[in-house]
Structure 1
Amino acid sequence: MLKDVLQRLRLRAKDPLQIHGYQSYGTDEHLYLLGRALEDEGVDLEKTGIASVFNNAWHQFRSDELPHAKLKIRLPDDQVVYTQTDAEGYFKVDQKAEGLRALTNDQGWLQVELAYDDENQKRFIKNNNRFSGQMLIPSEKAEYGVISDIDDTILKTGVTSLLKWRVILNTLFTGVQKRSPFKGASHFYTKLHQGKSGDAANPMFYVSNSPWNLYKYLEAFIKQNDFPKGAILLRDFRTPFDRTPKPEKPHKQHEIRNILKTYPDMQFVLIGDSGEHDADIYIEIAEEYPDRIKAIYLRSVNHEKRVFRVRGLLEKFELTPALLVKDSQTAEEHAREIGLIQ
């Protein structure tokens, strides 16, 4: 915080620039890249201690974005795409392309290089102006896709606590190294990623209502706890003073529909929890796409009224297998019974 004051008084140099490339998804003929241009606030997720963790959280939310910055994106075949950030520093490339699958690695990830493309930019840019971005193209061997929530589904968060105080405390004062996954969750997800054949490389999509400010934090958690790598789809952090139009559809519904539309020939497994509205959202999606959802798994959270409500919803739902489970082992056993995993 002292650093911010010194910079405003011009007693300290401005922070260098960086580009966050988010893990997105696309197809052989559809390039879809997301990210954000912003100043490097010195966030270091490997640091421990309450002061360091709080400092990281503060600077993740108090980000200095680069509005209307010109960017250049280079694909592995040296094809170049140009784009520009919006008023909040976000960029999105959403366009037709050809032959993208041939440029991916064995897990279906297209690696791209991001750079600032402004000759008038005089400030120091990190990494020699070379930053990474990634886009997932599902393997042709894929048997189905997996769409999962994050909070209280794979990451112990506390979204059902009064005024979400546990979420706030965990975010501000708990480092990513000390955040706990649910027992057996990463093993279950790995099995789903491998599929019935054992090497299907089924695509993973992590969809959360968490803001993009926590992208690096959640990316580190997923990697650190051995969950399969996948597209991470968060939302813009809105404030009471935000003047941008509010989305017509809630974030999760919008993102899940986009995934299903992007891969019209693929079926999906949906995973969430009973803490908020995952049951309502997933049932709505399954009714809208009755032949596309292979199974729904909802982790039972420690909240009697919400569990009771979700159990009532599932008792009336018969379109596809839908289970309220207390642990990952129960879900894994069911997935094996219906032929999703080995």
Structure 2
Amino acid sequence: MFRKKALRINTYRGYGSENLFRASGRALEDENVDFGSNLSTFKTLRNIYKQLESDEIKNARLTLKLSNGQKFETMTDKEGYYHFATTVDELQTLADQEGWVTYTVSYTKEFTKREISDHNSFESQMLIPSKNAEFGVISDIDDTILHTGVASFFKWRVITNTLFKNYDKRIPIEGVSQFYKKLHLGFNGEPVNPFFYVSNSPWNLYDYLSAFLNKHFFPNGPILLRDFRTPFDKTPKPKLPHKQSEILNLLATYPKLKFILIGDSGEKDADIYTKIALEHPGRILAIYLRDVNHKRKTKRIQRIIDNYNATPILLMESAQEALKHAKKHGYID
């Protein structure tokens, strides 16, 4: 007989508030994905296959434990995901200096007969933005901070970059990490301005993208991805585009916090960002769009910019342009 694979829990770094504890992730069979560096093309392709061809553990009872010993139970859905939220008094007292609340997730006793990786203790974090935050930053990932090729013909560069390049071989957009570090510090020089990364990539690539962000020293922040839909998926399609929905959730969660939105000219970032800024006056400080050097798309984005005046907006060819703009408007020192 074939030996059953061990179980694991893929925890996703998330966000909440002073009294709102939220946790999300996915219960899976452990595919032993190797996130080492300098992997061969074959091993990289095998890793991506393992991430996309995931075997979820549905209807699994899980225990969430805060650092003060407080415990909660939740259950995964038919695709292995869990999304938990509850009120916890004085939750902010458990946060570190940058606002991160650490907790663990584990399988309940009914699964102890199965082998479970990491001694059945999977750590995660939830962000509570500091009261001293000057603003928050919501950033796209593909072609905004990571060379992807979303605007390429039939998106062939997306496929090539994702399937055949390990995270350590992927190239960040020049100067963006330094720009984000400046925004994280803000004008007052405190590392408290929160970052949120939003992408249309599937949750299956969470570890891959997280490893890339860590390698290139981007500010820590929740990575908000979406479920991987197949042509045979019978679940209702979301009413709003994923990025728009996530940004609106952040605006609702932090009603007193203003945001800077960062994206690119390759997809619909300009449409979504300007629409949100117009519908929520006073909440968006600025919009930055990286030019992906696609003549037709650049012209379309320029038309949007020419008819928009609700907030400062910049179509930039380099991070240096963004730095100068942010300094001029007082977002950074």
Shared fold per TM-score greater than 0.5: yes
2:247 pairs with 1:256: yes
CA separation in 2, counterparts of 1:15 and 1:165? 34
CA distance in 1, matches of 2:10, 2:130: 25
Q: Distance in 2 between matches of 1:147 and 1:223?
A: 17
Equivalent positions of 1:220-259 (< 5 A) are 220-259=211-250
Determine the structure 2 residue equivalent to 1:300: 291
Q: Is the 8 A contact 1:67 1:88 kept in 2?
A: yes
Gap runs ≥5 in structure 1: 1-9
The share of aligned pairs that are identical, in percent, is: 51
Distance 2:237 2:58 in 1: 19
Equivalents in 2 of 1:115, 1:40: separation in Å? 14
User: How many angstroms apart in 2 are the aligned matches of 1:223 and 1:71?
Assistant: 28
Partner of 1:14: 4
Amino acid at match of 1:310: I
Q: Structure 1 residue aligned with 2:32, among 38, 42, 49?
A: 42
Letter in 1 for 2:42: A
2:324 aligned to which of 313, 321, 333: 333
Instruction: Give a deviation string over 1:4-24, Cα, whole Å, max 9, x none.
Output: xxxxxx3x3121111111010
Partner amino acid for 1:211?
P
Deviation at residue 133 of structure 1 after TM alignment = 1.4
Which residue does the alignment assign to 2:13? 23
Q: Which residue, 123, 148, 168 being the options, matches 2:139?
A: 148
Kindly indicate whether the alpha-carbon contact (under 8 Å) linking 1:177 and 1:221 is maintained by their aligned counterparts in 2: yes
In structure 2, the partner of 1:137 is 128
The TM-score with structure 2 as length reference comes to 0.98
Deviation at 1:174, TM superposition (A): 0.3
Say which SS state the counterpart of residue 134 (structure 1) adopts: strand
1:212-271 deviation line (CA, Å, top 9, x unaligned)? 000000000111001000011000000011122211111111100000000000000000
Cα drift, residue 162 of structure 1: 1.1
Instruction: Using the TM superposition, give the Cα deviation of residue 118 of structure 1 relative to its aligned residue in structure 2, in angstroms.
Output: 3.7
Match of 2:84 in 1: 93
SS at match of 2:250: helix
Unmatched tracts of structure 2, length 5 or more:
none
Name the counterpart of 2:194: 203
Distance 2:184 2:164 in 1: 32
1:200 deviation in Å?
4.4
Residue-by-residue CA offset, 1:116-140 (whole Å, 9 max, x unaligned): 0142542100111110111000012
In 2, Cα distance between equivalents of 1:237 and 1:52: 22
Measure the CA separation in 1 of the matches of 2:212 and 2:82. Answer: 24
For residue 95 of structure 1, report the CA deviation from its aligned partner: 2.0
Cα shift at 1:58? 0.3
Aligned mates of 1:14, 1:225 — CA distance in 2: 36
Q: Distance in 1 between matches of 2:298 and 2:22?
A: 37
2:139 is aligned with 1:187: no
Alignment check: 8 A CA contact 2:258 2:284 kept: yes
Residue 321 of structure 1 pairs with residue 312 of structure 2: yes
Q: Secondary structure of the residue that 1:119 maps to in structure 2?
A: helix
Aligned amino acid, residue 315 of structure 2: L
Q: Distance in 1 between matches of 2:206 and 2:219?
A: 16
Give the distance between the partners of 1:272 and 1:205, measured in 2 at CA.
12
Amino acid in structure 2 at the alignment position of 1:46:
G
Quote the residue 1:7 is aligned against: none
RMSD: 0.9
Indicate if the aligned counterparts of 2:98 and 2:191 stay in contact, CA closer than 8 A: no
What's the offset of the Cα at 1:46?
A: 1.0
Retained in 2: the 8 A contact 1:143–1:200?
A: no
CA distance in 1 between partners of 2:23 and 2:225 (Å): 14
| Contact 1:300-1:307 at 8 Å conserved across structures | yes
Deviations 1:173-219 (A, max 9, x none): 00111100011000000000001001141000000000000000000
| Count of residue pairs the alignment pairs up | 332
Question: What amino acid is aligned across from residue 166 of structure 2 in structure 1?
Answer: G
Are 1:19 and 1:38, in contact at CA under 8 Å, matched by a contact in 2? yes
Question: What is the TM-score with the length of structure 1 in the denominator?
Answer: 0.96
Q: Secondary structure at the match of 2:124?
A: strand
3-state secondary structure, aligned to 2:262: strand
- Which AA in structure 1 matches 2:18? D
| 1:171 and 2:162 are equivalent in the alignment | yes
- Whether the aligned pair in 2 keeps the contact of 1:296 and 1:320 (CA below 8 Å) is yes
1:267 to 258, 275, 283: 258
Matches of 2:232 and 2:109, distance apart in 1: 30
Distance 2:111 2:269 in 1: 47
Please tell me the residue identity of whatever aligns with 2:51: Q
What one-letter code is carried by the residue in structure 2 that aligns with 1:140?
K
Task: Supply the distance in 1 between the matched residues of 2:299 and 2:4 (Cα, whole angstroms).
Answer: 53
Distance 1:341 1:155 in 2: 23
